[in-house]
Amino acid sequence: MDMKPTQPTRNTVLGAMTLPVLALAIACFGTFSPQSASAQDAEFTQFYSNPIYLNPAFAGAARCPRFVMNYRNQWPAMSGNYVTSAASYDQHIPSISGGLGLIVMNDRAGRGTLSTSRISGIYSYQQAVSRKFSIKAGFEATYFQKALDWNSLTFGDMIDPRKGFIYTSQDQPRGGKVSQVDFSAGIIGFSKKVYFGFAAHHLNEPNESLVVGLSRLPMKLTAHFGALLPLDGDARYASAFISPNILYRRQGEFQQMNVGGYVSKGPIVGGIWYRGILGTQYRDAFIVTLGIQSDVIKFGYSYDVTVSDLTPATGGAHEVSMSLNFDCRAKRVKFRSPPCPGF
């Protein structure tokens, strides 16, 4: 039998299970299937604040060296919350006509019962199509390791009807770690005001099974589109902008749509989004973002307001991002950066 999760991402409604069981089920779903199962990626709400995780074509898009850190705590009110952290570095290198990037990420589910660590190297190439329009293509190679802490799991034979979990399980530990190589690619196109892109992650759909059988990580397809429109004159001198955006994502059988935008005035940026699941009756979340940015540093905070049937038990999701853009003034270089928002 082919077993698959009931929802496209872990941000969605997973039914009427009790919360402790839900947390454990999410952490281990697809792990113990004897035949086949599917899994999904960790997700960041502030996807433009982690651009090379969104699309490898963004590597080197800022031209100068850029260092980014992201932290997300999803469903903190539950005992089996998700904590995801990432750090990345990228810059444009004229001698290779492109950009290089590095991402290190760790995702912990169920208080570390299931953990995933990834390290990715990226190369991107930029080409001017005309005086006003450029494209970038990126290629990514990833090594990842997924690990299960068997001692943190609980089983039915450990339960006493009156005293709870007091017995030692007779279930024998098996499996525990898997390491694989993963490949992804992406492309973006942009002018002074408009940008769009497409990314395909997990092109080889690596097997993530921790025990026996097959647990493929489905290919993730992402399309994103947006604009950066000045509110007070020419874009070169404007101090206020509005940036409408849309993101569509499909992984396996499941589809997700994010619709929203940002408004900025000087160093202050605010945004509001709605994230929904296509093809189902399930709602997911409204997202509020607030950021501060300068030429050197950007700091952002977002909160996911859960609107699914799990609210308010989940506690939503908190996410923090920070990026540092280093100065690299040297010889004059012809280079055009995408006008993407920072969060």
Could you read off the pLDDT of 228-264 as tens digits, one per residue?
A: 999 887 767 778 999 999 999 999 888 999 999 999 9
For residue 54, give the 3-state DSSP assignment.
helix
Q: Is residue 71 part of a domain?
A: yes
Q: Is residue 59 part of a domain?
A: yes
Of the pLDDT bands very low, low, confident and very high (cuts 50, 70, 90), residue 101 is very high
For 287-338, the pLDDT digits (tens) are 999 999 998 999 999 999 888 776 667 788 999 999 999 988 765 667 788 8
Range of the domain at 174: 19-325
Instruction: Count structural domains, the chain.
Output: 1
For 117-146, the pLDDT digits (tens) are 999 999 999 999 998 999 999 999 999 999
Q: Does residue 4 register a pLDDT over 80?
A: no
State the pLDDT at residue 20: 36
Give the CA distances from residue 262 to residues 11, 44, 55, 268, in Å, rounded to whole numbers and listed in that order: 22, 16, 20, 10
For residue 112, give the 3-state DSSP assignment.
coil
Q: Is residue 189 part of a domain?
A: yes
Closest CA to 121 of 179, 182, 196, 178: 182
Residue 296 belongs to domain with CATH number: 2.40.160.40
Q: Is residue 132 part of a domain?
A: yes
Q: Is residue 10 part of a domain?
A: no
Q: Is residue 274 part of a domain?
A: yes
Q: Which residue has better confidence, 211 or 95?
A: 95
Q: Does residue 24 register a pLDDT over 60?
A: no
* Residue entry with tokens 């004229």: 94
Element (H, E) at 71: strand 66-74
Q: Is residue 333 part of a domain?
A: no
pTM summary value:
0.84
